[in-house]
Structure 1
Amino acid sequence: MLDACAELLDEIGYEALSTTRIADRAGVAIGSVYQFFPDKKAIAEALTRRNVELFVTRVGRRFLLEDYLSWWAAIDAIIDEYVDMHRSVPGFRSLHFSDVVELNLIDSSSDSNTVIAGRLRGLLLEEYGMADSEELDLAVLVAVEAGDAVLKLAFRRDADGAPEIVEEAKKLVRGYLRQALEPSRAGQPSRGS
């Protein structure tokens, strides 16, 4: 049912989506849809949750397989994964992490961008020696929100993501984090840019 929802979102959008259309596309009775989901909003939330979990998994896999010498390169890799999923995962481009759905998708106290910011924060702490602080928390959250907004612009301009705007999103996030976090790296050796 989630796959059917993803396909329909890409084809007709959220407003035209209905539980009846999802049931028809999935080849199941409408009662089967209602057995798991009370309405289309609940299905969209479940699909968004799945997309966030897939994004986090793909980023994690990428970091296991590749070695990033600088956190700038790691940030670029995260953005590249987002862009790739936007291009290749059904439903991903139609339901961004904080669009259409409620803010408490992953757990009761966090919206999806906050969860992603938390994962990025963990990466900066563990892999790149950033100092743990409230400033780091705020900077990473702002960077994720800003990057998400600029990447949405890239996909509004071009269905495959306007490359020049994707590059600007990377510059924006790197520049903001560099400015916001350099004091956090006091005493830490530079790992490149």
Structure 2
Amino acid sequence: MNIIESSTPMLSASAPIRNEPVQARSTARLATLLDSAAAVIDEIGYERLTTAMVAERAGASIGTVYRYFPDRIAVLQSLAARNTERLMGRVSAELAAGRHPSATDAVVAVLDAMAELSRTEPGYRSVRAGDVLDLLPPQTEATANAMMADAVSDALVAGYGVADTAEVRLAVGTAVEIADALVARGFARSAEGDTTLLAEAERAVRAVLAGRV
């Protein structure tokens, strides 16, 4: 297990699923519920999502939804956790040692992974890793973006020979926040993404990292 993959359970552990699926059929049912929630969110936004809508779209009873989720917030948090896991999987691949010519290019690839998920993953544009739906327990001050930034920094230190300093970690954290914010803005009104904003996001990420990594 590499650095990025080892951080995924920390990000998703607080998703409040009532009954963790242990059989393949239950796992498939849970996936269907989350897929249905994502489809509804793409149509009407997460603010209006209800458990009844999830049940109807999934062709399931409302009791089935409540078997796994106590309320609509739990559905959203679980979808955000799944989106985080999928993003982490892509980021893990992108940050493999030697895949990119430089540490900066590797961080830009993280930006590209965020953008690609926004294009292809239902529900991701509304409920993404760094969204207002915090995945972490309330007793911690960390955010999903902060944990991702730490994992990215660890991967750069391990795979790209980057110095492990407070300045480097601040720069990577800033780059992750910029990438998340501008990707969100770039896909707010376009399913394909505003190419001008995405290009500006890359320019900003490179500028923040210049001379630091």
> Could you say which TM-score interval applies, normalised by the shorter chain?
0.7 to 0.9
Following TM superposition, by how much is the alpha carbon of 1:23 offset from its aligned partner in structure 2, in angstroms?
0.9
Contact between 2:100 and 2:106, CA under 8 Å: does it hold in 1?
Answer: yes
Counterpart residue type for residue 192 of structure 2: D
Tell me which residue corresponds to 2:197. 165
| Residue pairs, 1:1-193, within 5 angstroms | 1-64=33-96, 67-104=99-136, 110-156=142-188, 158-179=190-211, 181=212
Following TM superposition, by how much is the alpha carbon of 1:97 offset from its aligned partner in structure 2, in angstroms?
2.0
Contact between 2:125 and 2:188, CA under 8 Å: does it hold in 1?
Answer: no
- Aligned to 1:158, the other structure's residue is in SS state coil
Following TM superposition, by how much is the alpha carbon of 1:65 offset from its aligned partner in structure 2, in angstroms?
9.7
Q: Deviations over 1:102-144 (max 9, x none)?
A: 3517x96632111211221012211221211222222221221
Separation in structure 2 between the aligned mates of residue 85 and residue 97 of structure 1, nearest angstrom:
11
TM-score (normalised: structure 2): 0.77
Counterpart residue type for residue 178 of structure 1: A
Q: Deviations over 1:140-164 (max 9, x none)?
A: 2122112211222212353311112
- Aligned to 1:28, the other structure's residue is in SS state coil
TM-score (normalised: structure 1): 0.84
Greater relative contact order (CA < 8 Å, ≥ 6 in sequence): 2
Separation in structure 1 between the aligned mates of residue 109 and residue 44 of structure 2, nearest angstrom:
31
Separation in structure 1 between the aligned mates of residue 71 and residue 209 of structure 2, nearest angstrom:
40
Separation in structure 2 between the aligned mates of residue 157 and residue 28 of structure 1, nearest angstrom:
31
Separation in structure 2 between the aligned mates of residue 108 and residue 23 of structure 1, nearest angstrom:
33
- Aligned to 2:46, the other structure's residue is in SS state coil
Ranges of 4+ aligned residues in structure 1 off by more than 4 Å: 63-66
Following TM superposition, by how much is the alpha carbon of 1:101 offset from its aligned partner in structure 2, in angstroms?
1.2
Contact between 1:103 and 1:110, CA under 8 Å: does it hold in 2?
Answer: no
Structure 1 gaps, min length 5: 183-193
% identity of equivalent residues: 37
Separation in structure 1 between the aligned mates of residue 164 and residue 131 of structure 2, nearest angstrom:
30
